[in-house]
Amino acid sequence: MEIVGLVGAGHMGSGLGWALREGGHDVITSLAGRSARTARLAQAAGLRVVARPADVVAQADVILVVTPPGAAVDAATEIAAMAGARRDRPLVVDLNAISPATAAEAAEVITAAGFDFVDGSISGPPPTVRPGAALYLSGPRAAEVADLRWTHARPVVVGDRIGAASAVKMSTASVYKGLMGLMTQAIRSASEHGVLEPVMADLGESFGTPYEMALAATKAHRYVAEMREIARSQAAAGLTPSLFEAFAEVWADIADRPLADGQPETLPRAITARQVADGLRQ
């Protein structure tokens, strides 16, 4: 598998592309319809740009899909429509933060088009930000994806069942992003009540630094769908979905605040709790 295609070369996608390119792979993506920011990220990662998404599907031996959670099935449908006359069975690897049930829906679409499907998920920041992200993989051909020449990222095969890798992400993200949501709500409330300083002195940075809270705010629009996917996953496990349906509302509210308009790669690391609270005011 020499050519790796990226459907979604944003902050995370371009970071994974860079990690594979560093390992010696030819990594391709299309910027058709994408933003100037995505173009900058792809260029910085050294990705080879092709004209159309269909060219990515036509040329790649393995296709990594890194989109917002709510777009996962739509992305699978678009890839399936580009299958064309390919006689081989390239791998499509869904790396989105989705529930096992949504992963199964995407897999059904992809396999009906004659492609093979690997379920995947990512834990950690893009390798371009901090090396060491874990890539959880599951499905009959998951080991082949793990055997790509990954650098600055760590593939982990969790089984041959589609949905297992997504279940890992739904469980870990419920803690990471749940706690971050709680901390963000706490400092917003403390700021409005005029007690931000003693609250921060008491809590410290045990549940998130101001930079981490600000970083999460810039991704809040993606977290809304992810919280709903976690709720769906927990409901399938016989648990109440109410907690993460509520977290979806929390992140939707944060997504409407000025701080959420920032870009992760340009966020100042020295941002303070006061600046975070001010950027999330009503």
Cβ–Cβ under 8 Å, residues 57 and 63: yes
pLDDT one-digit tens code per residue, 63-109: 999 999 999 999 999 999 998 867 688 899 999 999 999 999 999 99
Residue 1 has pLDDT above 70, yes or no: no
What value does the mean pLDDT of the chain take? Answer: 95
pLDDT tens digit string along 101-155? 999 999 999 999 999 999 999 999 999 999 999 999 999 999 999 999 999 999 9
Return the pLDDT at 133: 96
Second CATH level (architecture) for the domain 3-162: 3-Layer(aba) Sandwich (3.40)
pTM given for the model? 0.94
In the block, which residue shows the tokens 């509210």?
A: 253
- What's CA 227's distance to the chain center, in Å? 12
Give the pair of three-digit tokens for residue 62: 């393995």
Q: How far apart are CA 214 and CA 210, in angstroms?
A: 6
Cα 67 to Cα 221: distance, rounded to the nearest angstrom:
12
So where are the chain's domains?
3-162, 168-279
